[in-house]
């Protein structure tokens, strides 16, 4: 535990914490907007994470101190469904995530201790690196450590997803919480969002992953994310007239979509085309990972960005500029936007020996063409969430 987090806990509550928890963010290398279409996704957990210090209380009082925001709030576990603090005021947006986890765990019949918490994060908020899922997983992992029950990692991820969907009100898939709970150091996670089976494949050798944060932020609950999801559901309903056995766009081949696309409204057709082809790209990219072929994998990343830009229409001029600059730099294998889009970050697969020069060149070229400075940094494939007694 960092000294600042431990000392902040002692300063806030007058005692030492009992548990230290870390829950990583994630970056999705390939398979964007396919998680809610029952496709396979290829994320990695990253070493940037939510870190939390906590100790139990003798009652059901939960006291939160968000160190980065310098904000505090308290609520009771028995009244978490009201979404209010002790004074009856509506919980601030940042507190809905831990409160939602408390709600979801209790809805599943799990008993929780009240607790005092201080937490901090170096996962950029709103950048598409799953800062909210990392908060959810950190709290769920902490409550599991402090309580008398234990569930497997995937079940814990599903409970965190329920918190985000039903309590916070964001229609996210399971990938974010899954990656935060199940990350494996040095490996890409291969997660089948239909069967929930998963495995790992090693990162391509002698490569590095670079995140370029455009600085453009979006709010998922008010963005067009839910519109894209609804478009996919509409595509399924319309295609069922011709393909009655389909459950999701995963069941539609590129040939079938080409045959029946004239019967879809133009926007719905483009949304479906991205998803169907992205699912196929992931299948081929897994072959590239098994071969350790970074250039082949990177080619799929570039193709994914083009599809997200032109068919799914979730890119921004800033993200497009970052990808185009990266494409022309030495050492690049592939680049694309990552996360829901509408802002956030690009993810770049880079030759390890060119890492430092790539980061410098990308930042300088972007500033020259846009007039703006941005954050660019390396991330590493890390292990999943863990709690330990201190």
Q: Which of 74, 72, 103, 99 is nearest to 86 (CA)?
A: 74
Q: Which residue has the tokens 């719905």?
A: 268
- Classify 208 as helix, strand or coil: strand
- 197 burial class (0-12, 13-18, 19+ CB within 10 angstroms)? exposed
Please give the C-alpha separations between residue 326 and each of 43, 96, 360, in angstroms, as whole numbers. 20, 37, 11
Please give the C-alpha separations between residue 388 and each of 8, 54, 156, 382, in angstroms, as whole numbers. 18, 11, 17, 17
CA quadruple 86, 87, 93, 98: dihedral, nearest 10: 0
- Classify 246 as helix, strand or coil: coil
d(CA 133, CA 148): 23
Residues in the chain: 390
Clarify whether 122 is annotated catalytic. no
Contact by Cβ (8 Å): 386, 138: no
- Classify 121 as helix, strand or coil: strand
d(CA 171, CA 275): 17
- Classify 127 as helix, strand or coil: coil
CA quadruple 28, 30, 35, 36: dihedral, nearest 10: 110
CB under 8 A, 24+ apart: contacts of 74-78: 75/99, 76/114, 77/102, 77/106, 77/112, 77/114
165's tokens: 């969907």
Q: Which of 35, 59, 68, 176 is catalytic?
A: 176
Q: Which residues are catalytic?
A: 176
């Amino acid at each position: 535990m960092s000294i600042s987090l431990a000392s902040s806990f002692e300063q806030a509550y007058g005692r030492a914490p009992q548990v230290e928890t870390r829950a990583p963010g994630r970056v999705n290398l390939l398979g964007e907007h396919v998680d809610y279409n029952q496709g396979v996704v290829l994320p990695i957990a990253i070493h940037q994470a939510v870190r939390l210090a906590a100790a139990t209380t003798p009652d059901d009082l939960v006291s939160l101190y968000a160190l980065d925001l310098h904000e505090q709030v308290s609520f009771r576990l028995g009244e978490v469904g009201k979404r209010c603090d002790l004074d009856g005021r509506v919980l601030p947006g940042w507190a809905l995530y831990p409160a939602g986890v408390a709600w979801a765990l209790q809805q599943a019949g799990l008993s929780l201790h009240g607790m005092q918490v201080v937490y901090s994060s170096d996962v950029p908020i709103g950048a598409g690196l799953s800062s909210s899922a990392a908060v959810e997983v950190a709290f769920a992992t902490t409550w599991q450590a402090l309580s008398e029950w234990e569930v497997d990692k995937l079940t814990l991820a599903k409970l965190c997803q329920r918190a985000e969907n039903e309590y916070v009100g964001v229609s996210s898939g399971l990938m974010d919480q899954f990656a935060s709970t199940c990350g494996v150091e040095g490996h890409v996670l291969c997660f089948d969002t239909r069967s929930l089976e998963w495995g790992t494949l090693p990162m391509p050798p002698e490569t590095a992953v670079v995140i370029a944060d455009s600085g453009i932020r979006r709010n998922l609950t008010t963005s067009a994310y839910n519109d894209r999801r609804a478009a996919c559901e509409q595509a399924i309903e319309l295609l069922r007239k011709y393909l009655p056995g389909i459950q999701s766009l995963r069941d539609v081949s590129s040939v079938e979509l080409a045959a029946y696309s004239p019967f879809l409204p133009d926007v719905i057709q483009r949304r479906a085309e991205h998803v169907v082809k992205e699912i196929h790209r992931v299948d081929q990219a897994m072959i590239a990972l098994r071969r350790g072929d970074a250039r082949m994998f990177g080619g799929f990343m570039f193709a994914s960005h083009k599809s997200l830009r032109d068919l799914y229409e979730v890119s921004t001029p800033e993200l497009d500029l970052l990808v185009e600059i990266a494409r022309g730099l030495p050492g690049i294998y592939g680049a694309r936007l990552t996360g829901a889009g509408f802002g956030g970050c690009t993810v770049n697969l880079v030759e390890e020996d060119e890492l430092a020069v790539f980061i410098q060149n990308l930042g300088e070229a972007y500033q020259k063409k846009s007039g703006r400075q941005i954050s660019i940094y390396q991330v590493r494939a890390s292990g999943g969430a863990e709690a330990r007694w201190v």
